[in-house]
Amino acid sequence: MSLKRLHVLFDDDDILLDAVKEIVKSKIYIHEVYTPFPVHGLDKAMKLKPTKISVATFIYGCIGFTVSILMMNYIMIVDWPQDIGGKPSFSYIENMPAFVPIMFELTVFFAAHLMVITFYLRSKLWPFKEAENPDPSTTDDKFLIDMNSGSNLSKTKSMLKKMGAISIKEVKE
């Protein structure tokens, strides 16, 4: 018994969502689902783990905050302390109010950019990267499930037909 791989097209997000739930229930492995827009509830239906990118972003923000403090402390306090307008800069904490804007900006700068870079790398997005959606209509108005056929191909096919699939294509592994 050889497992086949199927590309199943749908033309509606609600039908797709029900189909995914059904497929998961019948314990057939789904490799990937391609959709033209975010279908809400799809990640839960596919049992995808929640993304941890916001945790990473928090850490990136902390790094930015630390970098800004270290940088300004070295430049303004350690390397060349100056007396500007009668306000000598011999202590970081006493001069801190003037440094708040840049502490904030660098926190945001690091958090935002490193988050986006992480997202691009994790989702394999960069210039000259070839797109991987098997059917070009999945960026327009179609939804594609890339799945295993299960042990009984004809049974799976008839189940998918009943759920509203508009085309089922067998593809090589």
The site for other proteins (CB under 8 A) is made up of 13-14, 32-43, 46, 48, 50-51, 53-54, 57, 71-72, 75-76, 79-80, 82, 84, 87, 89, 95, 98-99, 101-102, 104-106, 108-109, 111-113, 115-116, 119-120, 122-133, 136-141
Closest to other proteins by CB, 107 vs 149, is: 107
- Return the ∠ at Cα 120 (arms to 119 and 124), rounded to 5°: 115
Residue 73 C-beta: closest distance to other proteins, Å:
10
In 10 A of CB 158, how many CB atoms? 12
Beta bridge partners of 88: 83
Residue 152 C-beta: closest distance to other proteins, Å:
25
Task: Give Rg (Cα) of the chain.
Answer: 26
Closest to other proteins by CB, 87 vs 161, is: 87
Residue 146 C-beta: closest distance to other proteins, Å:
9
Residue 119 C-beta: closest distance to other proteins, Å:
5
Q: How far, in Å, CA of 124 to CA of 131, rounded?
A: 9
Closest to other proteins by CB, 120 vs 155, is: 120
Closest to other proteins by CB, 114 vs 159, is: 114
**Of 26, 25, 24, 30, nearest to 6 (Cα)?**
30
**Of 5, 4, 51, 48, nearest to 24 (Cα)?**
48
Q: How far, in Å, CA of 146 to CA of 20, rounded?
A: 11
Residue 80 C-beta: closest distance to other proteins, Å:
4
